[in-house]
């Protein structure tokens, strides 16, 4: 087993390197393959997804599910093999304002994938709003926290390969919630961050939201330092969670 992350340094024309390339590519397993393994090997009883889009991250899910997106463009079966699927065509903020996931699912959220609006403050709200309905061992997976190119970092949606500034949430969680176990994986193309040892009763992110955002709205990747961020992420290889036995070493529901 190779626990080292798969980084690729820039390849291609050495005479005209891309100045906007941030110095890493992530070549672990594709993020959908990793998520599929979480479902296959851990068999969560319930799943919540923020940001469904065409449904690629819903396709393989077989447990009762809540899917939230202000604009679904489903290209997959709406029902799949799931006993129940609740679609909410709204923003995640409005969903949490108006609905109780536990009432819908008859259970806490076992696994969540947060892949909605790629603005750090929105992901931060998605995180604490989701955690409230989780168990300690539930897993909240964040997408797009490892940008590899400057063009991905814009806060305005620039289409494909857009990560926005959600990477800040990893720093915020480490600072304000050191109790959470965070693993960042080299899942292609822009990483997966898996959070467990959650505390549904914690209010520190919610209570400090204004102060957190006052500080972090002024910081960008340039001022924070990409290499510093990558080092702090301590990126691990998706090889470490490729089989049932391996994944269960780190996660159990």
List of residues contacting ligand SAM (CB under 6 A): 50-54, 56-57, 68-71, 91-92, 115-117, 122
Nearest distance from C-beta of residue 199 to ligand SAM, angstroms: 24
Element (H, E) at 23: none
Residue number, 76 or 199, with CB nearest to ligand SAM: 76
Nearest distance from C-beta of residue 228 to ligand SAM, angstroms: 26
Within the chain, what is the greatest distance between any pair of CA atoms? Answer: 59
Residue number, 4 or 97, with CB nearest to ligand SAM: 97
Cβ neighbors of 216 (< 8 A, separation 6 or more) are 120, 121, 168, 171, 172
Question: Which whole-number Å values give the CA distances from 148 to 21, 152, 188, 190, in the listed order?
Answer: 6, 7, 10, 7
Nearest distance from C-beta of residue 201 to ligand SAM, angstroms: 24
Nearest distance from C-beta of residue 57 to ligand SAM, angstroms: 4
DSSP 236: B
Alpha-carbon torsion (34, 39, 42, 46), positive or negative: positive
SS3 label, residue 125 = helix
Nearest distance from C-beta of residue 93 to ligand SAM, angstroms: 6
Nearest distance from C-beta of residue 70 to ligand SAM, angstroms: 5
Residue number, 33 or 232, with CB nearest to ligand SAM: 33
Cα–Cα distance between 179 and 126 in angstroms, integer? Answer: 18
Cα–Cα distance between 181 and 166 in angstroms, integer? Answer: 18
Residue number, 126 or 236, with CB nearest to ligand SAM: 126
Cβ neighbors of 72 (< 8 A, separation 6 or more) are 52, 53, 55, 87, 89
Residue number, 100 or 157, with CB nearest to ligand SAM: 157
Residue number, 24 or 125, with CB nearest to ligand SAM: 125
């Amino acid at each position: 087993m190779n626990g080292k992350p798969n980084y690729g340094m820039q390849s291609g024309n050495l005479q005209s390197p891309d100045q906007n390339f941030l110095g890493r590519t992530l070549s672990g397993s594709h993020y959908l393959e990793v998520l599929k393994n979480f479902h296959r090997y851990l068999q969560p009883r319930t799943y919540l997804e923020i940001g469904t889009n065409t449904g690629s991250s819903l396709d393989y899910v077989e447990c009762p599910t809540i899917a939230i997106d202000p604009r679904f463009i489903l290209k997959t079966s709406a029902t799949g093999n799931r006993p129940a699927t609740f679609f909410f065509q709204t923003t995640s903020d409005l969903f949490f304002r108006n609905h109780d996931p536990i009432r819908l699912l008859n259970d806490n959220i076992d696994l969540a994938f947060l892949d909605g609006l790629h603005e750090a403050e929105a992901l931060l709200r998605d995180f604490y709003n989701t955690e409230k309905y989780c168990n300690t061992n539930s897993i909240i997976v964040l997408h797009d926290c490892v940008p590899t190119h400057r063009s991905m970092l814009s806060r305005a949606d620039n289409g494909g390969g857009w990560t926005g500034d959600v990477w800040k949430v990893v720093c915020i969680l480490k600072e304000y919630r050191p109790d959470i176990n965070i693993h960042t994986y080299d899942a292609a193309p822009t990483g997966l961050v898996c959070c467990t040892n959650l505390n549904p009763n914690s209010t520190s992110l919610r209570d400090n939201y204004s102060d957190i955002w006052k500080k972090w709205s002024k910081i960008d990747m340039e001022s924070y330092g990409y290499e510093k961020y990558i080092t702090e992420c301590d990126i691990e290889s998706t090889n470490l969670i490729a089989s049932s036995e391996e994944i269960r070493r780190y996660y159990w529901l």
